[in-house]
Amino acid sequence: MKILTGKSSKWFAVIDGDDIVVRKVIATAFGGGHDAGDDGQTESGILNDGSNPTLMGCALPIRSIEKATAGSPLAFAGAHIPWGTLVRVWREVDGEDTAITVQLIDNGPNQEECPTHGIDLTVYAASHFALTIPIHLIANDWEATGFSYRILGAAKYAA
């Protein structure tokens, strides 16, 4: 099993067959039209501005050419994991068989400012885990520990 580490992140990733797996990180939410610090633009071009209220997406710190994410275990030299890659996300205590599947649509979270944060979910994806928070508050108020995810087919980018 190959372990991937980063210079600024407080978490690591492992190669598991064709996939990359990250375990027990902090998850946050972004965008969705109510996020005070986000205009809904993503690096993939998929709008996360609330115009698609059921957008199942995530941001992962994958870009080695951007200072905010260059120190991530997922920020490989050369080509990054492509936009649209599928990512299975779950609470570690509930097990991987309870995972939801989302699409990689953006780069983040910022590893310099938040080195323990490993994934940002769109508001709708986060709502599957933030059951007691009104949807319009999730992007600004939700953060949770103990999240894991599997980036499907991404091991080939770590070579």
18 pLDDT more than 80 = yes
Confidence of residue 29 (pLDDT cuts 50, 70, 90): very high
Total domains present in the chain: 1
159 pLDDT more than 80 = no
Q: Give residue 86's domain range.
A: 3-158
Q: Could you tell me if 9 and 73 are in contact, meaning their C-beta atoms sit under 8 angstroms apart?
A: yes
User: Which of helix, strand or coil describes residue 68?
Assistant: coil
Q: What mean pLDDT is predicted for residues 82-103? A: 98
- 118: domain CATH number is 2.40.40.10
Render 101-149 in DSSP notation, one character per residue. Answer: EEEEEEE---TTT-TTEEEEEEHHHHHTT-TTS-GGGHHHH-EEEEEEE
C-alpha span between 100 and 128 (Å, rounded):
8
Identity of the residue numbered 55: L
pLDDT at 150: 98
- Which structure tokens are listed for 75? 């920020």
pLDDT at 1: 81
What pTM, to 2 d.p., does this model score?
0.96
